[in-house]
Amino acid sequence: MERKVLICMGTSGVSAGARQVAENFERELEKRNLSGKYQIVRTGDRGLFRDVLVDIINPELGRITYQYIKPENVVELVESHIVEGKVLEKYRTKDDYKRFFEKQKRIVMANCGEIDPENIEDYISSGGYKAVKKVLSMNPAEVIEEVKKSGLRGRGGGGFPTGTKWEFAARVNASPKYIICNADEGDPGAFMDRSVLEGDPHAVIEGMIIAGYAIGASEGYIYCRAEYPLAIRRLEIALKQARKKNFLGEKIFGSGFSFELKIKQGAGAFVCGEETALIASIEGKRGMPVARPPFPAVKGLWGKPTIINNVETLANLPHILNKGGDWFASIGTEKSKGTKVFALAGKVKNTGLIEVPMGTTIRELIYGPGGGMASSIPFKGVQIGGPSGGCLPEKLLDTPIDYESITQTGAIMGSGGMIVMDQSTCMVDIARFFLEFTVAESCGKCVPCRIGLKRMHEILEKITRGAGKEEHINFLGDMSETIKNTALCGLGNTAPNPVLTTLKYFREEYDSHISEKECPSHACVDLIKFEVMEDKCKKCGKCFKVCPTGAVEWKVKEYAKINKDKCIKCKACINACPFMAIK
């Protein structure tokens, strides 16, 4: 067993001080003449954000993971664990850390948190670039057939069969052809692509080389938003290393196949996640969708055949080619093969990246790796699929995670965002929030998006302020259906989903806002009276402790009261109260 210190240094780790932690480890090991015995590995994020996460591996104690490590803790860790051979229990991860990972099946995320993303040798030692070498001994049609056999579907949201998509482009007699990696990732609460690019960039590069060989492309682009500086920097390093090894460039591995990659930084427009808008952006135009057909596989970048796959789709390819399409197809369900990575956020104990086999239920994901609800406030709903997805109630928690089952609920799989909400969340306000996002991000090219979404958002604003009317419900439903059927692109077609699903599953909340001028979740400020309900108040004083203006009056063993002359309606008291005692 090699002696190593693994330090998670993705965006989350770096922001928590991981660079200083690594430097302190180097200094302390050198001070004790141990630097030659231990290798310090700066990894990407592992998915569970308890930064800084540090693993110390040696034959004496095996592998021990420590969490929430600060730079000032390093001396103590080195002294106790490495010098004296004693595990420091106060920093060691608990059982919930183990439970977070035990029901996952990590394929795309397998190397994240395990290898140094800035060291190509680490990737090679884990089996990297073997798939490319294997592919170059096959003909392109055989590669496409293997991908079709795997059943891999696009992980960017559409779920279109990857092999079939490639076949369309391969059949077109045109040159040049292009491969594009869509790493735009604009959904609120989504960070899957960023973490893979930061933790295992070579897997995406290898996947693009495989795709390029399969369709006959000689050039590719990685379209990544500029808000991901660490991911871009690690991609740039990985590209340079791959070229130096002749894994990119002219006559890869001494074969007759040449392939080159470039990075295109996007400005962070949500609409550029749509294929044709992304292509326009690379061409130097404003990112706006165009009507299809023709599809990009036939006529894409600069009018040439172009395949666009997202980060997760491409990162699956080396595993599929190494282990075979049948292996991948054995995971998941009949129509949805393999695993899916989710960015789990919201009111759960364990937020982070979770990779599970397709067919896992929503309940199993939330209450398994997710650890269940973060507080005593009960579950209310889960938003799946980002701004284009839908809000699902508790009765649908046993829905399997696969493309068909999720679509039947009115939501969509999307790229993998999943936000858990408890009873303190107002579903009308959630619909308003997502509409506000899509209105701001709409490119404005087509009337349904530009005007329709704006009118819907205005109505939702009125309802959350207590100015809603009964006829507004019919308007929201009718306008949603109109936009779904007439918007130019997929983003517009799916933008009304949060409204439609909240109307379908949480209609009583709309009725309460309109008829009773009351928000059942005590979330909409204009409908809150800021009064303490004595039948729910537990006399705990939590509201008193967080009030910034002294508006909450409370004494031990007495009910709290709110002085409305001092109250600024900041909702600090409501957010602090686990009993929802403030109306």
Q: Quick check: 25 and 78 in contact, CB under 8 A?
A: yes
CB within 8 Å of 272: residues ≥ 6 apart: 184, 186, 223, 266, 278, 281, 287
**Average pLDDT of every residue of the chain:** 95
Q: Where in the chain is the domain with CATH 1.20.1440.230?
A: 427-515
Q: Where in the chain is the domain with CATH 3.30.70.20?
A: 528-583
Cα–Cα–Cα angle for 498, 500, 506, rounded to 5 degrees = 85
Residue percentage of the chain with pLDDT more than 70: 100
Q: How confident is the model at residue 537 (pLDDT cuts 50, 70, 90)?
A: very high
Listing DSSP states for 476-493 in one string gives: HHHHHHHHHHH-SSHHHH
Q: How confident is the model at residue 188 (pLDDT cuts 50, 70, 90)?
A: confident
Q: Quick check: 104 and 79 in contact, CB under 8 A?
A: no
Burial class (CB in 10 A: 0-12, 13-18, 19+), 62: exposed
Residue 211: predicted pLDDT: 98
Listing DSSP states for 332-344 in one string gives: B-SSSBSEEEEEE
Q: Are strands 379-384 and 417-422 parallel, antiparallel or unpaired?
A: antiparallel
Burial class (CB in 10 A: 0-12, 13-18, 19+), 451: middle
Q: Tell me the fold of 528-583.
A: Alpha-Beta Plaits (3.30.70)
Q: How confident is the model at residue 529 (pLDDT cuts 50, 70, 90)?
A: confident
Residue 490: predicted pLDDT: 87
**Would you give the DSSP letter of residue 32?**
T
> 199-231, pLDDT tens digit by residue?
999 999 999 999 999 999 999 999 999 999 999
Cα–Cα–Cα angle for 86, 88, 93, rounded to 5 degrees = 130
Q: How confident is the model at residue 158 (pLDDT cuts 50, 70, 90)?
A: confident
Residue 40: helix, strand or coil by DSSP? strand
Q: How confident is the model at residue 43 (pLDDT cuts 50, 70, 90)?
A: very high
Residue 26: helix, strand or coil by DSSP? helix
> 51-94, pLDDT tens digit by residue?
999 999 999 999 999 999 999 999 999 999 999 999 999 999 99
> 484-514, pLDDT tens digit by residue?
999 999 889 999 999 999 999 999 999 999 9
Residues in the chain: 583
Domain 120-329 carries which CATH code?
3.40.50.11540
Q: Where in the chain is the domain with CATH 3.40.30.10?
A: 4-93
With 90 as the cut, is the pLDDT of residue 50 above it?
yes
Q: Where in the chain is the domain with CATH 3.10.20.600?
A: 339-422
Tell me: domain 427-515, CATH 1.20.1440.230, correct?
yes
Q: Whole-angstrom Cα distance, residue 251 to residue 143?
A: 18
Q: Whole-angstrom Cα distance, residue 196 to residue 443?
A: 28
Q: Quick check: 389 and 500 in contact, CB under 8 A?
A: no
Q: Whole-angstrom Cα distance, residue 486 to residue 494?
A: 11
Tell me: domain 339-422, CATH 3.40.710.10, correct?
no
> 303-337, pLDDT tens digit by residue?
999 999 999 999 999 999 999 999 999 999 999 99
Residue 92 CB coordination number (10 Å): 13
Distances (CA, A) of 173 to 148, 193, 256, 304, 374: 21, 32, 19, 10, 55
With 90 as the cut, is the pLDDT of residue 362 above it?
yes
Q: Is the dihedral of CA 266, 268, 271, 275 positive or negative?
A: positive
Q: Quick check: 170 and 147 in contact, CB under 8 A?
A: no
Q: Whole-angstrom Cα distance, residue 538 to residue 419?
A: 29
Residue 60: helix, strand or coil by DSSP? coil
Q: Among the CATH numbers 3.90.1150.10, 3.40.1550.10, 3.40.30.10, 3.20.20.70, which is that of 4-93?
A: 3.40.30.10
Residue 575: predicted pLDDT: 87
Q: Quick check: 509 and 502 in contact, CB under 8 A?
A: yes
Phi, psi for 289 (deg, rounded to 5) = -70, 160
Residue of 325 and 186 predicted with greater confidence:
325
**HEC sequence for 267-322:** CCCHHHHCHHHHHHHHCCCCCCCCCCCCCCCCCCHHHCCEEEEEHHHHHHHHHHHH
Q: How confident is the model at residue 186 (pLDDT cuts 50, 70, 90)?
A: confident
